[in-house]
């Protein structure tokens, strides 16, 4: 699937721990390997981006970041649609610290 180059990325908070990224898998360098988010190339409308995201995935709110900022920090946002959620994407390459700072 192609990388997203521009737009807003939405990460749902599914528990009371307000860190958007805490138990995701990381590689040997401590960077995210496939954290789930929602995004549409070139779109900043959060409601449109969240279409298809299951309510339980954002029960405690959402956090957003710009794709351009993720790329500047060495990350990638890649389209990865799943059944019922065509806007699903995956983030790769960000450290947990950078991910949590960008989505704070």
- Give pLDDT tens digits along the chain (104 positions): 689 999 999 999 988 877 899 888 999 999 999 999 999 999 999 999 999 999 988 999 999 999 999 999 999 999 999 999 999 999 999 999 999 999 98
pLDDT at 19: 86
pTM of the model: 0.94
pLDDT at 42: 98
Per residue, the 3-state secondary structure of the chain, as one string, reads CCECCCCEEEEECCCCCCCCCCCCCECCCCEECCEEEEECCCCCCHHHHHCCCCHHHHCCCEEEEEHHHHHHCCCEEEECCECCECCEEEEECCEHHHHHHHCC
pLDDT at 13: 93
pLDDT at 99: 96
pLDDT at 22: 85
pLDDT at 2: 81
């Amino acid at each position: 699937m192609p990388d997203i180059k521009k737009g807003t990325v939405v990460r749902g908070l599914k528990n009371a721990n307000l860190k958007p990224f805490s138990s995701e898998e990381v590689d040997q360098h401590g960077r995210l390997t496939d954290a789930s988010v929602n995004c549409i190339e070139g779109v900043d409308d959060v409601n449109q981006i969240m279409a298809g995201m299951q309510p339980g995935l954002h029960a405690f709110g959402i956090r957003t970041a710009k794709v351009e900022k993720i790329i500047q920090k060495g990350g990638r946002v890649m389209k990865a649609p799943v059944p019922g959620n065509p806007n699903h994407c995956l983030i790769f390459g960000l450290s947990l610290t950078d991910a949590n700072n960008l989505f704070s």
